Each structure stands twice: as C-alpha cells, then as structure tokens.
Structure 1
Amino acid sequence: MKRSFLLVLIGLMVIATRAQQTDYTPIDVEVYQLNNGLTVILNEDHHLPQVFGSVMVRAGGKDDPKDATGMAHYMEHMLFKGTQELGTINWEAEKPHIDSIFRLYDKLGRETDAEKRKIIQKEINAESLKANEYAIPGEMFNILRTMGGTNVNAGTINDYTIFYNAFPSTQIEKWLDLYSHRFENPVFRGFQAELEVVYER
C-alpha cells in the first residue's frame, strides 16, 4: 500500500495514551505540514506502549448539498467498506455490478415517472445482490482489531468528520498504511443498504 495521504485531510493525530498522573504536565505537541497539504499533530508520551490515532477531514454536515442532507455522514460510513484490495473476494468480478449500481442511481435521479422509477429500483436491488456475493463485510474493522486496535469508530459533525482508534505502538506503520489506503482507494460497496442505515438515523 502507498504511504501517502489525500489533500483533503487536515489532521492526523498520533497521540500516545497518557498514564494517570497526579501532577498535571502540559502536553508537548509538535505540528508538521506535509508537502501534500496534510497537517500532522504529534504528541509523544512513552508511559504506555499504545497509540491513539485519528484522521480528521475538514468536511461535515455544513458541506452537504441543500437537496441531499446527510451526505457527509453517509461518506463516513462508506469509508469503512474497503477498497479494491480490502472488503472483496474478487474485485474484477465485483466491479461491473458496482459500476452498474452507480449508473442506475444516476438514471433514477433523472427519472420522474413513478412506475419507471420502480423498475429502476428493482434493477438496483438485483445488481446489489450480485455485488454482495463478492463483498467481505467488516474487513476493515477486522484488520484493525487483529492489529490490536480498540475503540474503532468515526463521527460526523457540522464542521468535520473524524476516524479514529487506539492500537499498540508496534503497529503504527501498518496503521498508517491502512488509513492511507482507505482514503486513497475507497470502494463504495453496500451503497444501497448503507444509504438506508444513514437515512434511518
């Protein structure tokens, strides 16, 4: 996996978990600006061999289109679905179905006739079932957990979206590779089902 980051990311915090202390000690924070525009915020604390890492994206609910609220939250969910290498047993076989789903949604968005929309929605359902035959649900979560990751989660608010988890310090290279890969090469599989999940919330 390539170890690089998208320009849209504004913060990567790699903060070692602090041991409980009776005396308050100011946190020593270092800030770096990478050539690709990514800001890295680093606080080293060697009391425990554990790291808390997060990636913050400066995009949130306020950036949603007026006619499509919830898109930032939806994107947060989709970035857990994997890539061309993660979350699939056969990307080459899965890809035509995912491409077809996106084309059908574009077609659905342009169609105004109620009966024709129902037909398109049935086609989307059929393609989704075919695509699901190749998907590996939760592989991103499982990889993070096999690395010793805990508190794997994400959140979307008005101003930003954040992805985070804690993990052993020995896994920092793998964590950086995985997070870089998930943002550079996302595949939006499970598109329809996740849309319903976000809508219900």
Structure 2
Amino acid sequence: MKKQLHIVFVAIFSMTFLSAQEVAFEEYDLDNGLHVILHQDNSAPVVTTAVMYHVGAKDEDPEKTGFAHFFEHLLFEGTKNIERGEWFKIVSSNGGNNNANTTQDRTYYYEVFPSNNLELGLWLESERLMHPIINQIGVDTQKEVVQEERRLRYDNAPYGRWREQMFINLFEKHPYRWQTIGSLEHLASATLEDFKKFNQIYYVPNNAVLVVAGDIDMAETKKMVQDYFGPIPKGAPIERKTFVEDPINAPIKAEYRDPNIQIPLILMGYRTPAQTEHDAYVLDMISTYLSSGKSSKLYKKLVDEKKMALQVFAFNGSQEDYSSYIVGGLPVGDNTLEDIKKEIDEEIAKLQTDLISERDFQKLQNKFENNFVNSNSSVQGIANSLARYYMLYDDTNLINTEIDIYRSITREDIREVAKKYLNPNQRVELEYLPEQKEAN
C-alpha cells in the first residue's frame, strides 16, 4: 500500500512540476510582416532579444552554396549606425553576450543583456535588418574567416567531413545534399552584387520572427518593438521550391578516405520524414533507446560487454523537409566495420520484431520529460524554442505541448516505425576510412 501511495505521489508531483513550467507568451504581426513573440519572466533581471530568419543552406543556389552561413558572419560587420568592428564591443561593454548560428533551414541571431539594456538589444537587431553595410571590405574579411573555419572544422578535423559525405549520397534532388559551410570556390567566385541580392531577398521582416523574452514590461516592449522595427519596409514575397526525393530501394554503398584519422568508421544513414511528422518523434525515441548514455542498448552491448567498439551512436537529425537517421560506430581491436554493422542491425531487428520492455519504455519517457523541463529552464532557451516552433513547426505553443506528443508514443509505435524506416535496403552505407599511404 505504501508503495502504491508513493507511486501516486511521484506521479502527482511530476505532473504539478511540469505544469508549473508552462511558458506564457503573446504573439502578433507588425504591418511589415514581422512576427513578434513576447515572453515575460521577471524572476531575474535578464532579457534575450533574438531574431530568426527563415533562410538556411537549403535556400541557396546550387552554384552559390554557403551564402546563409556566410551571412551569419557578414551581418556582424557593421551597419549605417554601427562602425565596422564595433558590434561585439557594444554588446560586451553593456554587460551582454551575443552569437548566431545557421542550419540548413534557418539563421538565428541573439543577444542576452541585463534587462535595463532591452532597448539596446532591439536597436542592434533592427540595425542588422534595416541598415546593414555590405561592402567589399566586409566580404573579403569574412571570406578569410569562413575559409579558416572550413579548414579547422571540416578539412583538417578528424572525421570532419562525415556529414558532408553522408548527405551527398542520402539526397539527390534536395539542397540538403550540401552543408551549411558550402563551397569555398562558390564563395570565392561570388560578386558583391550576389551577396547584396541574397540579403535583399531573405533578410526582410516578413521572413523573420523577433522574440523578446525575460524581465520585460509588455506594454513598454511593444512600443519599443514598433518604434524600432515598424518602419522597416516589407520585402517581396519569397518563392520557395519544393524538392521530392525518390525512395531508396537498395543499399547505397559509399566510401571516403580521410587523411586525419587512423580508425575507420561505419555510418548507416536513412532518409526519414520531416520533423513535424509523428514518426519523426518516434525516431527520436528510438535513437535515445539505442545510444543515449552508457545504459543504452548499443553502448552496453558493443562498448561495455563485447568491447567491439570504441564508440557507437544513433541519432535522428530532425529538419524541416526531411530528417536523417544516422547510426554507426568505431571498431576496436580486430573487429571490422562489417562486424559493427552486423551487431547494430541485430539490435534494430529486435526493435522491428519485439516490443521493448516496459522498464525501458518508462526510462525513455522519463528522459524526455526531463529534457522537456530542461529546455524551458532558461530565458535564452525559451527564446530559441519560441522562434523555432513558430518558424519551423508553425505552432509556437509546442513549447508547452510537444511533450504530449512524446507521451502519446507507444511501444507498438516504436516497433512499427523501426520496421517502416530502418531497413538495410533503405539506407546509405558509408565506410569512412583512413587515407591509404603510398609505399616508398
């Protein structure tokens, strides 16, 4: 009886705790099409101002790749009212920090300030949108920065090009086949007019969402938003192409040799549905079940018990149009890539035929409950989530309700989704190998 009461108490406590985490927000549109989301949290004197633009690597010309990521750097160069090189100085001297990042679907800029500098954050982002200076000096400077980033993170980093090599095989028609870093040759040959045109098309208020989250007064914030962003002209409607991939019906064998590694890597990639689809959420659970933590099935089997692998992993890379499910490992000792592949396939086959145990299923649910709470534990995290759910999911309130999707997933769903997508004839098999040394 005591055990039953304890279980009931824990369940009630858990529901109460999660309910207390609900994020209140208000959203509306300015006349120029800018979507605005405000979240008030006066528990700490901190505010985040963030703008997400619906432009990523997938929006680029196939002959001019790397532009979205390039703009992540370029738009810190300066504006009509901010001298070149002064952006980061202004932020740091006023007690703030800022950054930006780019994916294949969107670009995100943000500042975190003491709340008495809210107006400064809004001014900075309105300047980036309204008065950017795109000139040859800035373009040439950032070309060097991006070239160095490419060398450090991709060309000279161990396993740095695995994603690039996987995606050129996983996608034939969709722009996901190239990476956000793009082609240095494309950037080198691009003209100043090319960059100005890209900015004119995508960096417009009707292609963006502004989020202000933290210690704010709602009425004052609305006035400041209108003052700084309202005068910005609306851009022309953006035409977006649709790309539909043919199904993969037979294994695609690929090989790449990396001069920066000594241990080979096996990667198996499956093309999976868009992140808004219910099956994408199930695949999130499957990847967690297989390789999240030392108690996960693949780690425990291949690394801990059989000591066949130095590392093993599985993850669902969720994206707007298609997702990608990647699983793989690094063999150790005399074990081969084929040995690792066989062991991984055995665990996937179990998922496709048997229901996972109730105990393992409850562990999964607990992990996703914990992730949900943690994702809303900071104002900065909340700002990012609000922008992302609005722009890429078309449902801002997922910040509160997405956990219900995970809660609705059953053990039967896990079995059926594994059976539907994770089959050997539906994947790319990439052998990522050390470069062969020529004999003297």
TM range (shorter): 0.5 to 0.7
Structure 2: how far apart are the matches of 1:193 and 1:175? 25
How much does 1:155 deviate? Answer: 0.5
Aligned: 1:199 with 2:199: no
How much does 1:69 deviate? Answer: 0.7
Hey, what does 1:167 align to over in structure 2?
Answer: 113
Greater Cα shift, 180-189 or 33-42: 180-189
Matched-pair contact (CA < 8 Å) for 1:33–1:40: yes
Structure 2: how far apart are the matches of 1:143 and 1:182? 14
Q: What does 1:76-87 align with in structure 2 at a 5 Å threshold?
A: 76-87=72-83
Matched-pair contact (CA < 8 Å) for 1:61–1:159: yes
Q: TM-score, normalised by structure 1?
A: 0.61
Structure 2: how far apart are the matches of 1:32 and 1:191? 35
Aligned: 1:148 with 2:144: no
How much does 1:81 deviate? Answer: 0.4
Structure 2: how far apart are the matches of 1:41 and 1:32? 7
Aligned positions, number: 130
The amino acid that maps onto 1:157 is T
Structure 1: how far apart are the matches of 2:74 and 2:23? 34
Hey, what does 2:133 align to over in structure 1?
Answer: 187
How much does 1:36 deviate? Answer: 1.0
Higher RCO (C-alpha 8 Å, min separation 6): 1
How much does 1:84 deviate? Answer: 2.6
- Which one has a bigger Cα radius of gyration? 2
Hey, what does 2:17 align to over in structure 1?
Answer: 23
Matched-pair contact (CA < 8 Å) for 2:55–2:107: yes
How much does 1:60 deviate? Answer: 0.7
What are the Cα deviations for residues 31-81 of structure 1, in whole angstroms up to 9, with x where unaligned?
A: 111111011111111100101221000111101111111001111111000
Which residue of the other structure, out of 46, 64, 67, is the alignment partner of 1:50? 46
Matched-pair contact (CA < 8 Å) for 1:30–1:43: yes
Task: Report the aligned-residue RMSD.
Answer: 1.6
The amino acid that maps onto 2:107 is T
What are the Cα deviations for residues 99-158 of structure 1, in whole angstroms up to 9, with x where unaligned?
A: xxxxxxxxxxxxxxxxxxxxxxxxxxxxxxxxxxxxx42x101111122112x1100101
5+ long unaligned stretches in structure 1:
1-21, 88-135
Q: TM-score, normalised by structure 2?
A: 0.28
Matched-pair contact (CA < 8 Å) for 1:70–1:198: no
**Identity rate of aligned residues, in percent?**
42
Structure 2: how far apart are the matches of 1:168 and 1:67? 43
Structure 2: how far apart are the matches of 1:84 and 1:64? 26
Structure 1: how far apart are the matches of 2:72 and 2:65? 13
Select the structure that is richer in helix.
2
**Structure 1 segments (4+ residues) deviating >4 Å:** none
Find the residue that maps to 1:155 and give its secondary structure: strand
Q: What does 1:64-75 align with in structure 2 at a 5 Å threshold?
A: 64-75=60-71
Q: What does 1:101-116 align with in structure 2 at a 5 Å threshold?
A: none
